[in-house]
Structure formats: C-alpha cells, structure tokens
Amino acid sequence: MDWGSQIPIDRHSLPADPRVRLLRVEGEAEWQLTRAYNFAISQSSFETILKLDADCWIDDLEYNPLPLQQRSYCRTIGGGGLNGVFMITRSNFFSVGGFNEYLKGYGYDDKDLFLRLDQLMVGTAIPKGIFCTIDHGDLERVSADTIQTVGERSCKPHSNVGTLLELIARMEETKAINRYLAERLEWSIDSPSTIYRLLGRNQWQAEKGSIPVPSAEVQHEARVLGNRIYLSILLGVHERLLDMMIPASSLQQIRNWMPLSKGIAWVRISTLFFGIRVALWIKKVLMRM
C-alpha cells in the first residue's frame, strides 16, 4: 500500500505475481501507522493476516504454522525488535476494531492491540527463530522521516550526541502519549474508524471528517505529558520534579529553546562519558599496580 508518497510506487517495481496488489491512498501528509494497517488489512483478499514491521523478515521459510482457531491469534514474544509481529484472521482482528486510530507516531500501538485481543481470545507464541530483524539503531528508526506527536513535527536529525538524545526523547514522548491516548480513548469494534472513498482503480482517499481526532482537552493533556517526558530525558531532570517545579503552561516555552536544550544535553552526556572513561582508565592502572 502506497500511503500518499510524493513519488507513487511503480507496480512494475514489485514482483509480477497476481497475488501482489498495489493500492494507493491519496492526500496523506504524514505517515500514520494505525490507520494504514487498518486500511490495508481491510482491503486484503485472504482471511489469514501476517503482520511484519518494516525491519522484520521471515528467517525460516519452511515454517508451516498450524491453522488459527476461531478465537485465537499468535505473535512473537521476547523482545528483540519482533514484538510487533503477529498472525491473525481478519475477522478476529476487526472484532476488536483493529489498531487504535487515535494513536500516532512511534510506540504502544501493538501493545494496545494485544491487550484488547487478550480480553476476547487466546494468544499463543510463535516459536523463536522463525522471524528475524534487520539490524539498525534508533537513528535509522526515526531519521528517514519525522516522529509525529500531537500537533507537532520533529526536525531532521544531525550527527551529534545532543540530537541523538533528542531523537530518543521524541521516541519516549510518542510512546507515552500513545499509552495515555489508549487509556483515555479506548478502541473497540464500535469506535469511529476512518472512512475511505474510492477515487479510481486502486486509488482511495480518506474522508477528512471521519478521521478520529482527540478532543481539545485530551490533546492538551497529551501535549503536556509529551513535553514533560521529552524535557525530562533531554535535560536529565526527573519528570515528577518538572511537574512539581515548572507550570505546565511553561513546558512548551522551554521546549522551544531547542538549541540551548540540545547544548545542555551535549555537555551533560559528554561530561558523563568522559568521566566514565577516566574512571575505567584509573581502575585499569590500579589493577596493574
């Protein structure tokens, strides 16, 4: 599925297999995982769905999973970047409404889905070694595009320790916001998911008025939470202390001091790492004496 890319995907660049279909959703300014997966699965022609993340692949092509039972699904466990891989029937997936479309950006989308699935059916583990991950760091995870927060867009990354810490802060921010939204705006089969209209052959577009949007109050609370998480990581101050010492209305103002905040992060982390290296060197010298 081509989620509104600036240069449309060419069908001839994909395998010449009739089972491979290419759909395009027009008019999307930003990547939104939860809506994209819901739409893609709704358009699938097979009942059994295998969901892989972009950095996952099938390591054992001989693996032949058992047929899924009526009220069951299976997924990988144990971390290692494979927590978002699962196999499920389409009917079971949509019995809980699919992914929560209020969630945006990186993190917690799969955990929220599994929590809702586990309330209605049995989840079993996919054996280890079936799937693998393509090695990459957090920089690659977020630098190809931007991390979306509620009403904000991140800047492009640069190769210094302050910006690397800032990227990590944004990842933790979006995870915290999504967790909060999932708790405040519980998703189910009755939730108002996005409606798409057919524009032409294999071309669709979302009806803007149907896209789920949190209320202004929830967006404000999410933004305050996100700013608190973001600044606590970037400045090295515990979020509870920030909550006690700085008014919520001032968090965004402080966040706007991006060059200063990244400079403070660079000094703090560089000093810490230098101190650790010195301490290890002194310990090595003392052990030789």
Phi-psi region of 98 (alpha: psi -120 to 50; beta: other; left: phi over 0): left
Q: What is the pTM of this model?
A: 0.81
Q: Flag whether pLDDT at 127 surpasses 90.
A: no
What's at 194, amino acid-wise?
T
Residue 143 has pLDDT above 80, yes or no: no
Instruction: Quote the strand ranges of 122-279, DSSP E.
Output: 122-125, 131-133, 148-149, 152-153, 196-200, 203-206
CB neighbours (10 Å) of residue 205? 16
| Alpha-carbon distances, residue 239 vs 114, 126, 228, 243, 253 (angstroms) | 28, 37, 6, 6, 16
Q: Which two tokens mark 40?
A: 């893609």
**Vertex 55, ends 47 and 91: CA angle to 5°?**
15
Residue at token pair 């699935």? 117
Between CA 42 and CA 37 the distance in angstroms is 8
Beta strands in 94-245, from DSSP E residues, in sequence order = 122-125, 131-133, 148-149, 152-153, 196-200, 203-206
How many CB atoms are located within 10 Å of the residue 58 CB? 13
Query: Domains of the chain by range and CATH?
Result: 2-144+192-212 (3.90.550.10)
Per residue in 3-31, pLDDT tens? Answer: 999 999 999 999 999 999 999 999 998 99
Q: Report CA-CA distances (Å) from 268 to 139, 241, 271.
A: 20, 18, 5
**Span 250-267, average pLDDT:** 74
Query: With bands split at pLDDT 50, 70 and 90, how would you rate the model's confidence at 208?
Result: very high
Range with the lowest mean pLDDT among 11-15, 207-211, 218-222, 279-283?
A: 279-283
Q: Please determine, for residue 138, whether its predicted confidence score (pLDDT) is greater than 60.
A: no
Contacts with 186 (C-beta within 8 Å, 6 or more apart), sequence order: none
* CA dist 213 → 97, 229, 268 (Å): 16, 22, 38
Higher pLDDT, 127 or 193: 193
Q: Minimum mean pLDDT among 15-24, 132-141, 272-281: which range?
A: 132-141
Residue 208 DSSP code: G
Q: How far apart are CA 140 and CA 236, in angstroms?
A: 24
